Amino acid sequence: MKHTCPHCGEKTFTPLQKALCGGMSSAGKKCPSCGGRCVNGKASLLLNTILRLIAFVMIIVTYFVHTTFMQILWFGVVPLVLAFVIGFLFDMFFGKLIEAIKHE
């Protein structure tokens, strides 16, 4: 299963390469076929922002409310890890690649 490059239209990116392309503020990854740089699009940016904001709120709530180690683990650490994993999986399989704006 390969994903399409927005520059040349060929299926050149594996899911892992696509997930590691980076966000819209990064330089992105070069397409092996045409050399154009690609990044994950606005949907990825929006999803990651929402997930990490929720995880941040959970960490703040955990700091003030929960006291035991298990409560801190379940309500502070697990949401943060889940935010990163869900965002990574979204980038691998569902998000769309776009042309990079930033050039280095």
Q: Which string of DSSP letters, residue by residue, matches 14-45?
A: -HHHHHTT--TTS--EE-TTT--EEEE-HHHH
DSSP structural state of residue 47: H
Contact yes or no for 76/66 (Cβ under 8 A): yes
- The tens digit of pLDDT for each residue in 36-53 reads 899 999 999 999 999 999
Cβ burial, residue 91 (10 Å; 0-12/13-18/19+): buried
Rounded to the nearest integer, the mean pLDDT of the chain is 89
- Global pTM? 0.82
Distance CA 18, CA 62 (A): 34
Predicted confidence band of residue 104 (pLDDT cuts 50, 70, 90): low
- Residue 103: pLDDT band (50, 70, 90) is low
